[in-house]
Amino acid sequence: MAKPLILVSNDDGITAPGIRTLVNVMKKIGDVVVVAPDSPQSGMGHAITVGNTLRLDKSLAFDDVEAWECSGTPADCVKLAKHHVLKERQPDLVVSGINHGSNSSVSVLYSGTMSAAIEAAIEGLPAIGFSLCEFGHDADFSHTEEYVEMIVRQALKNGIPEGVALNVNFPKKSNKKIAGVKVCRQAQARWEEEFDERLDPNGRRYFWLTGNFINPDKGEDTDEWALAHNFVSIVPCQFDMTAHFAMVRLNNEWELNK
């Protein structure tokens, strides 16, 4: 029986420890091809390269895996992988990550990791984005491996609904054992931004984005609740951003056609 073909990408760059962990797990499951950014692309969201050069080169980041590094964004990587690198080979699954830092709640909108997965879903490919709630470059990913393998095997066996990408987040490693896995909704939370005004060595003003994460959502069915209680969270995400409930109100209450 042929092994599944698995495309791996990320937003932290092709040399990041998180993608190495992901690739090592995927090699146990299928044939792996990596197409990832040649430099960090965190916070790029679903940006794509338009009106500028886009470069794609063979990478030596992995000894025993076909790997390519791209000058563009995570979404660019998935597009180039599907239409250029793989060509007639259709991946059975696209996985992105493992990201250094949480992509729970509203952070999913800013995430390059999840945008790679969402781009795959737009392209008609089943996809999963993996993230760890630890921002340090030396983060320990070891406790994620068995869960990554289990979730990927389940996705390959049972399928992911069409047009859906799974947003999987792991708690930071601690002395506590992972409590389990929960399928959740996205917490209704937000970032409260602040811009720290500073001066560069030449005395020119610049700003540095800071802020705090505000979570007024007290539901016990959210990704934030799951992570706070040491569960792995899975949120099914879709690229259809239509507010269907609002269509009824607009049609009934707005005088649009006189």
3-state secondary structure 131-162: EECCCCCCCCCHHHHHHHHHHHHHHHHHCCCC
* Residue 42 in marked binding region: yes
Tokens 């799974």 correspond to 166
Q: Is 197 exposed, middle or buried (0-12, 13-18, 19+ CB in 10 A)?
A: exposed
Q: Which CATH number fits domain 5-188+218-253: 1.10.3720.10, 3.40.1210.10, 3.90.120.10, 3.40.140.10?
A: 3.40.1210.10
3-state secondary structure of 33: strand
The verdict on whether residue 99 carries a ligand-binding annotation is yes
In tens digits, what is the pLDDT along the chain, a chain of 258 residues?
A: 789 999 999 999 999 999 999 999 999 999 999 999 999 888 888 999 999 999 999 999 998 999 999 999 999 999 999 999 998 899 999 999 999 999 999 999 999 999 999 999 999 999 999 999 998 778 999 999 999 999 999 999 999 999 999 999 999 999 999 999 999 999 998 888 889 999 999 999 999 988 888 888 899 999 999 999 999 999 999 999 999 999 999 999 998 887
Q: Is residue 11 marked as binding?
A: yes
0.85 exceeded by pTM:
yes
